[in-house]
Structure 1
Amino acid sequence: MNDLRRIDLNLLVILDALLSEQHVTRAAERLHLSQPAVSHALARLRDLLGDPLLVRAGAGLVPTPRALELLAPLAEALAQVQALLAPNAFDPATTQRTFRLAMSDYGAAIVLPELIRTLRREAPGIDLQISHGSRESMLDGVLNGDIDVAIGVFPEMPNELRSTPLFEEHYACLLDRKSLPVDGALDLPTYLARPHVLLEMRGSGTPEIERALTALRERRRVAVSLPHWRVAPEFISGTDLILTVASRALRDIDESTLIVVPPPFQIPSFTFVLVWHKRRGGDQALNWLNQRIGEGIERQRLF
């Protein structure tokens, strides 16, 4: 440990130049140092390693057996230090890595198809592990490092996390066409009188809808509560049920039997965001992935 404390990494760089040039003046020119500075460094190296390292032979210097033994490990050590201190180079075409993403099945339907096509085309060595949970559990996963990126709606964000918006979203109501009032409009009394399908993920629910109704001093009756929206439209066809969800979840419905209409009361729109930990700001691969997610959303023309 005492010897390690005496080591100046610059001495290793100078030793490498001396062993390569076998001449003090040429080593000094190569390093842009003065000749006395290199001579002083050589004296320190001889003292540190207990060996002459370079001995005079004619007009130049020749390495000792001990110096020759140091050539390979010295080159390896300097290469490792250089790699450690150099910016982390990222090549998507050759990188082998797994990213852990958390999102709802709604988020997965919006984000993953385009993202996966991009990865297969540009970064075939990058794999994805997708999980889902409540808003709180997804943010906790990013905070503790279990999750690389969370995608969703997060009204409250811890200071340690960073986010970027992906798109603005609003709510819409899905009904069976035959259950729509004769005038073609859904009014508030009808909305409140009808049974509803609630999308709820581990207790998170859809608080924006409930808060909007509470502001009106109204409540709705939930007849079916379920954790994923993919099957929810199937419950609506042929019934008097109403499903109130993010509008983009209703892009591929069967319009011959179902219809999408605006809610009969004001529900604030919300921002769908991508979240990561600020300590990951220097991760080039993660930054690349986040950028590709955003570009995929833009290509879908969701704005």
Structure 2
Amino acid sequence: MNFQFCFHTFNIRGMNTLRGIDLNLLVVLEALLAERHISRAALRLHLSQPAVSHALGRLRQLLDDPILVRGKGGLVPSARAHEIAGPLAEALAQVRILLGPGGFQPATARRSFRLAMSDYGALVVLPRLLRAVRKAAPNIDLVVTQASREAMTAQVADGEIDMALGVFTHQPEDVHAAALFEESYACAVDAATVRDAGRLDQVAYLARSHVLVATHSERVDAIDAAVARIGGRRKIACVVPHWSVAPALIAGTNLVLTTARRSLAALEADPRYAVFDPPFALENFTFSMIWHERTDADPGHTWLRERVQAAAATQESDEPISLRG
């Protein structure tokens, strides 16, 4: 890691060394670029809003740039801010390793980690992860956001987030990946719409309309590809962006939901629903965690990755979604 290069990227006027630079300002800058909101950055840093506003003013003077400007929906990073976000994240990650203790001390550590995942990931991993983190490291905060897999990969690469959980088919060379578990598909229907066997054959499956979970505009997924291989095509009655709401949509209808089996954990023991294997071959998929090379040796990041792997190790979520009421 070349610190001189990374900090030279900031192009601080009139300074040829780091002398006189308050590194705490760079921590504030990191939070501001992540949150894009002064109050939220203050909460993340455990500082007052006036203190963060004052720090933003000093940063603007130091960098000769507005950093955050008013845009649609709130504050947006300037072009300069976008340019330095990656080098900033890399430099601070290395500074934390350099200045931190020989090992990570979770009981006393104060830090905020930025994670990205879909609501499926939040459902099957986050409850257990948060309990483990709160028990061992009560001053560690988790900030969770959601985006498409392409956007999450880009955010990891750019240093906007610390890690992402999801299904990633490929990632840049400097982004690391670790498999968390293999997931299979299952179908769910209202139990009153099927016979005693509690399942549908291919003909009955294709005769019904379906609920599709799609987190972006692309409506063709692995399920549709598998259906096409048997010469069929699903009739999509409803497209939703969230995994967690999809099971509730089939109640009282003849709709079919085909989705990740873990997201149907609450329905498995609910007599109002029938959950069964798809009536055609569907390949399993790997749910993974990705992070950037810059944080690979960070003891705190390593500790959190281990907690994520432990939280994902069991076959079912501790807290499946409830559809009663």
Normalised to the residue count of structure 1, the TM-score between the two structures is 0.68
Separation in 1, partners of 2:231, 2:244: 30
Question: Does 2:297 correspond to 1:282?
Answer: yes
Quote the residue 2:11 is aligned against. none
Please tell me the residue identity of whatever aligns with 2:139: G
Identity of aligned residues (%): 43
Question: Does 2:311 correspond to 1:296?
Answer: yes
Q: Structure 1: which 4+ aligned runs deviate by more than 6 Å?
A: none
Is the CA contact 1:171–1:269 (under 8 Å) kept in the aligned structure 2?
A: yes
Q: Structure 1 residue 133: deviation in Å?
A: 1.2
Q: 1:85 to 1:103 in 2, by over 3 A?
A: closer
SS at match of 1:165: strand
Q: 1:86 to 1:181 in 2, by over 3 A?
A: closer
Q: List aligned pairs for 1:151-166, cutoff 5 A.
A: 151-166=165-180
Quote the residue 1:147 is aligned against. 161
Is the CA contact 2:265–2:316 (under 8 Å) kept in the aligned structure 1?
A: no
- Aligned mate of 1:124, from 109, 126, 138: 138
For residues 156-212 of structure 1, what are the alpha-carbon distances to aligned partners after superposition, in whole Å with 9 as ceiling and x for unaligned? 222221111111100000001111145443111111110000011123557211221
Quote the residue 1:92 is aligned against. 106
Separation in 2, partners of 1:209, 1:183: 23
Q: Structure 1 residue 215: deviation in Å?
A: 2.2
Normalised to the residue count of structure 2, the TM-score between the two structures is 0.64
Q: 1:235 to 1:91 in 2, by over 3 A?
A: same
SS at match of 2:107: coil
Separation in 1, partners of 2:273, 2:112: 40
Q: 1:136 to 1:88 in 2, by over 3 A?
A: farther
SS at match of 2:290: strand
Is the CA contact 1:172–1:245 (under 8 Å) kept in the aligned structure 2?
A: yes
Question: Does 2:175 correspond to 1:172?
Answer: no
Q: 1:84 to 1:165 in 2, by over 3 A?
A: closer
Quote the residue 1:111 is aligned against. 125
SS at match of 2:238: strand
Quote the residue 2:249 is aligned against. 235
Is the CA contact 1:134–1:203 (under 8 Å) kept in the aligned structure 2?
A: no
SS at match of 1:172: strand
Question: Does 2:205 correspond to 1:191?
Answer: yes
Please tell me the residue identity of whatever aligns with 1:238: G
Separation in 2, partners of 1:150, 1:166: 12
Please tell me the residue identity of whatever aligns with 2:131: R
Root mean square deviation of aligned Cα: 2.3
Q: Structure 1 residue 131: deviation in Å?
A: 0.6
Quote the residue 1:273 is aligned against. 288
Quote the residue 2:38 is aligned against. none
Q: Structure 1 residue 89: deviation in Å?
A: 3.4
SS at match of 1:89: coil
Separation in 2, partners of 1:114, 1:183: 35
Q: Structure 1 residue 265: deviation in Å?
A: 0.7
SS at match of 2:172: coil
Q: Structure 1 residue 125: deviation in Å?
A: 1.0
Q: 1:295 to 1:163 in 2, by over 3 A?
A: same
Is the CA contact 1:135–1:204 (under 8 Å) kept in the aligned structure 2?
A: no
Quote the residue 2:224 is aligned against. 210
Separation in 1, partners of 2:295, 2:156: 10
The higher radius of gyration belongs to: 1
Gaps of 5+ in 1: 1-80
Is the CA contact 1:199–1:206 (under 8 Å) kept in the aligned structure 2?
A: no
Separation in 2, partners of 1:241, 1:114: 32
Separation in 2, partners of 1:283, 1:246: 33
